[in-house]
């Protein structure tokens, strides 16, 4: 069985500051990992995904994430937060024979 934890249901950063959203997973098979973003009253949009090709994955809007097998982590970062980054972020894991499992989400607030 797979599971995802996201540390911090709500994270606040100042505009221009580093964004770090944490994701840890458990999986009995090699995982595929995803970050999605959800803006208010919208569906989820893919930010980036890890499929074993490279451990550092670059996504849209300046976000990137690093897969660390030893730490079972896939944390999302962005060097400089922008007001438009305010949204909810979901980490998800899948794997052979497994459906997607989503984490509970982290709401990011960006302060001026």
Partner 1 sequence: DAGITQSPRHKVTETGTPVTLRCHQTENHRYMYWYRQDPGHGLRLIHYSYGVKDTDKGEVSDGYSVSRSKTEDFLLTLESATSSQTSVYFCAIAKDGGGYSDTQYFGPGTRLTVL
Which of the stretches 17-25, 46-54, 67-75, 78-86 binds partner 1 when contact is defined by CB under 8 A? 46-54
Q: Identify how many contiguous H helices and E strands the chain contains and give both numbers.
A: 0, 12
45 binding partner 1? (CB under 8 A): yes
Measured at the CA of 56, the angle between CA 13 and CA 61, to 5 degrees, comes to 45
Nearer to partner 1, 36 or 67 (CB): 36
25 binding partner 1? (CB under 8 A): no
105 binding partner 1? (CB under 8 A): yes
Interface pick for partner 1 out of 51, 55, 61, 80 (rule CB under 8 A): 51
Q: Which long-range contacts (CB under 8 A, 24 or more apart) does 63-67 make?
A: 63/19, 63/35, 65/23, 65/33, 65/35, 67/33
26 binding partner 1? (CB under 8 A): no
């Amino acid at each position: 069985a797979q599971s995802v934890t996201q540390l911090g249901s709500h994270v606040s950063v100042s505009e221009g500051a580093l964004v770090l959203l944490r994701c840890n997973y458990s999986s009995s098979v090699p995982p595929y990992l995803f970050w999605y973003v959800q803006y208010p009253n919208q569906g989820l949009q893919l930010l980036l995904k890890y499929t074993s090709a490279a451990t550092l994955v670059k996504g849209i809007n300046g976000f990137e994430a690093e897969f660390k097998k030893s730490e079972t982590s896939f944390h999302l970062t962005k060097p400089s937060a922008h007001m438009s980054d305010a949204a909810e972020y979901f980490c998800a894991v899948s794997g052979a024979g497994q459906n997607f499992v989503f984490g509970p989400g982290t709401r990011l607030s960006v302060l001026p």
